[in-house]
Chains A and B, each alone.
Chain A
């Protein structure tokens, strides 16, 4: 209880003691303050608990570091602004306080933006709580199970190393646990698929509903026009409602207005004094919003069947591909996304999904110009440096590669043939290790990561490569050439253990033998994994 809640009473005449009077006001205040601190405590407790759990889950100060970053960047400001809007303390509430003629244009837009986000959030929240969240919770549970099981595996290893269990016991327990991990992994993948499929279907509907919702709410409750002075008196907050233009007053003004009765109110709800500019601003904002909504709705209505079937197709195709999820950017509302970004996203799907399809190799096919999976375009355009040095291009000696100068050199039927071909093909051109993508040598970033993925996939998806060639390139397998390995892993001259860990882990995940059904590729993958593993140990020793 604070001092403001306690009113001192006059001294009791008999005892001389001070009495604390529990007036009805005090009781109300007391309740309010208990209420107040109760809710605030829950909010605080929740934040603390969740923060602790996150720090426990992602160790190494990652959470703190990223949070600190967010506090000082545009991304963080977006999070703060969006959460404020949704919590109801942001732009929509603030629109009314915008002043002057600019507000006539700015306020409705800000209002529409704020409300739309809120409504979009509410709809999404409802959908999320109803179904999406269930999926998410189940997914989280599975992920958590998997983490616990992986921890369990480490625990077993420790017990074995400490001679607390025999080798046989360890092998049995580990095999069982590995099987459990695999099962959980496949459940996680299945859940993810179901989640993505469901979410994509809801996205456009949400967009339309929230735009319509904004219009409906604006119509019913009024669109704020900022603070205006149309009546020549003191400036008032103005709202356009279905009854016309309302001026909002503070309490004293409202009381005064009531005393003026009907005339007073009528004078302030007609809105004839609205300047032309204001009407244009308001009209533009509302019309734009309406047209956008209407066109979205109409195109969605026309295409809904096609969207549904294409969505189903894309997801069923995705399910067929090595049990992985492929995002092809075909969400129904992709017109709102920059196609360039979609292209980048599709090509950057590096999450253990080979970007180059594991094509059936037609060894007789000798007319293709596209020899390696990492070079979807003719190599002459990809790597001009290599082109100028014929020695670096063993493939150029192959008479079958005469057409490497480009499509223009092809006859028409051949051109058509290559145009209709969906997948990259490999014509048996010898693999060129010197064509490894080289990173910029600074650090791990998306560019270097892409180069690493490219390098591994080039090896894995080229038919001309053999285990012998791989062995001869890296030298002694037990002691592979570290410079070449570093080049393949796109490691700079000076690298950290963390960098090495990440790069080698990513590389191993891309050439895991279990990913391939073809015996030839399996052998290559096994050998490459071995080279990376053994090379990793050696490279680690070089770190000072």
Chain B
């Protein structure tokens, strides 16, 4: 049951597809990942085996996976969307019951050597599901309330499962990622305006109920917000992370202290220095120049994704690319805002830099899908 509305003949076949991959994107991703290896090597005090080497292996494995996904026609992935979405919902449920408790939250599943965070996977599968839904949906019904409610539920179910883990950062990203697909699909802007207004009201409610038995968030989440609002108030306690992160970034100055010269990370002042806060070491050792260069690399990745989306005429491909790029953007925007003291510390990794298997794998799967859409676009 092919959905093809365009001429399949224009799609390259066989190994010729390799030439049609979005190579600049591959190069950019590898460049960002390489920056990550460099920093992981530096944080470990000049040792490969601690973080850099496992990270490289994962990246290599992920790259292979990405190519494999890229070479599979995009319509296959479209047909898989429902299955993938359902599987990740099951995994999210599984993590509720069999998950490993870490950092005060159930977040991952140990499957053999693989440590899987289903919430990360859900970000991709949810976008696939939404893209497939809007591809199926009659264009005219896009803004019809009933047909808006269905994707909203598709977003809320995994979000709910993540928020009870509890993982505020990821659930917010799921919400925003889903909203991005709906927005791109052309859902009336008024819906978004209403939701924005509701969120404003909710924020108000969250703060006014604080301290009462009906408070919306966990105490630690409130404290993180407090800390975000004024990190210097408690520099040894809750504000420590942000204060130290800012010190690391700031002390780097224009050109940085030099490779392997970052005192903040090497002396362990930086919390989560190899995961969520890895950007601070980049800032400390390579300064504004280094940090801004990374920003440009990220910008270029997004630029190539968007041009790829604009080149495609296929609704599923377009929505998928935009949704996944939006997700990618959310990762980095939230993470960077967080480490630079512009957002609360919510535990979102920096894509391709932060040490961690699930995220790396999921990101490369996402880029595999983007590549697949790119290769199999109608010409």
Q: Do A and B assemble together?
A: no
